[in-house]
A = this chain, B = another copy of it.
């Protein structure tokens, strides 16, 4: 296996993540033993306008036909029961069987929605992720989480369904809007902080290249970040334990998104703020933590809005809506040191409020 392929070992559900670009898709499909024939492509209009012609030509050239193309409106609002039903209707009308692959071409929304359709159509179809956003390339396309939102919260309906294959084209990041690019950076910084101290130093030292989207540095950064995620999920496929550390900053972030109103912050902005609060709480519990260094890195992630107008108490209460609440107790991910995270259920509301206040002062 080349040095631009990551293998995710999960027994019968093992798969490869190939950072080899869209042109390499046919040979990767062959290696993954995907059946050539009819297939389904799910994407959104923004992505379709740039990449669908190329994907279609690539698929047809390797024998995939007919292709059922399903275009879902861009944006988080499409990750719901209505568009799921649309995929079901279109897919079932096209006479799929259990070997018919679904290609998810897009960012996190398309990956989650098409992935969940693949998880549940005929009790499971082969799924190929072609992640087009930074967050999808280093995070959401890896690990098998799929799902849709419910009016009561995000990702409340879903399934674990491992992809058969992930094919990533890092060149696609050059066309990504700044806001989405920065949103993905937050998850990369998170991967580094929870699992790889060297990568934290590496990122800090190369921040200018990151902002300039230096292709050579991106190749390196994305492989390292994706490998961290792949290593964690392959040790804990169903989120029984270790995988929880990937939620560093996320319980705070979900409360921010909920209380500020969805759309006010990108997910990455909310995660960046959430990590700052979680770092503060970590520092309260572990006074040897180099909090200033961590905060310096986190402050490099630009955030357009503030949460100064929100009430720390209300935000704290909103944290209890998180899916990971266990028996009414908050489970927070804290840093023991840079590159090492753990789950704590011992944090008081007073400590959490100090965390909130630390990201409210200007």
Residues of A within 8 A of B (CB): 12, 35, 37, 81, 85, 88-89, 92-93, 97-99, 119-124, 145, 147, 150, 152-153, 155-160, 238-239, 323-327
User: Could you tell me if B159 and A88 are in contact, using CB atoms closer than 8 angstroms?
Assistant: no
User: Could you tell me if B124 and A238 are in contact, using CB atoms closer than 8 angstroms?
Assistant: yes
Of the candidates B88, B120, B323, which one forms a contact with A122 in the assembled complex, judged by CB atoms under 8 Å apart?
B323
| Number of identical monomers bound together in the oligomeric complex | 2
With contact pairs A150-B88, A152-B93, A153-B92 given, residues A159 and B123 touching in the complex (Cβ less than 8 Å): yes
User: Could you tell me if B120 and A158 are in contact, using CB atoms closer than 8 angstroms?
Assistant: yes
- With both beta carbons as reference points, the residue of chain B lying nearest to A117 in the complex is identified as B157
Main secondary structure of the interface of A (DSSP, over half): mixed
- With both beta carbons as reference points, the residue of chain B lying nearest to A325 in the complex is identified as B97
With contact pairs A97-B325, A97-B327, A327-B97 given, residues A121 and B152 touching in the complex (Cβ less than 8 Å): no
User: Could you tell me if A160 and B124 are in contact, using CB atoms closer than 8 angstroms?
Assistant: yes
User: Could you tell me if B97 and A157 are in contact, using CB atoms closer than 8 angstroms?
Assistant: no
Chain B residues with CB below 8 A from A145, complex form: 123
User: Could you tell me if A157 and B120 are in contact, using CB atoms closer than 8 angstroms?
Assistant: yes
Chain B: minimal CB distance from A345 (Å): 13
Q: Give bound CA distance, A175 to B352, whole Å.
A: 56
Chain B residues with CB below 8 A from A159, complex form: 119-120, 123-124, 159
- With both beta carbons as reference points, the residue of chain B lying nearest to A122 in the complex is identified as B323
Chain B residues with CB below 8 A from A325, complex form: 97
Chain B residues with CB below 8 A from A327, complex form: 35, 37, 97, 99
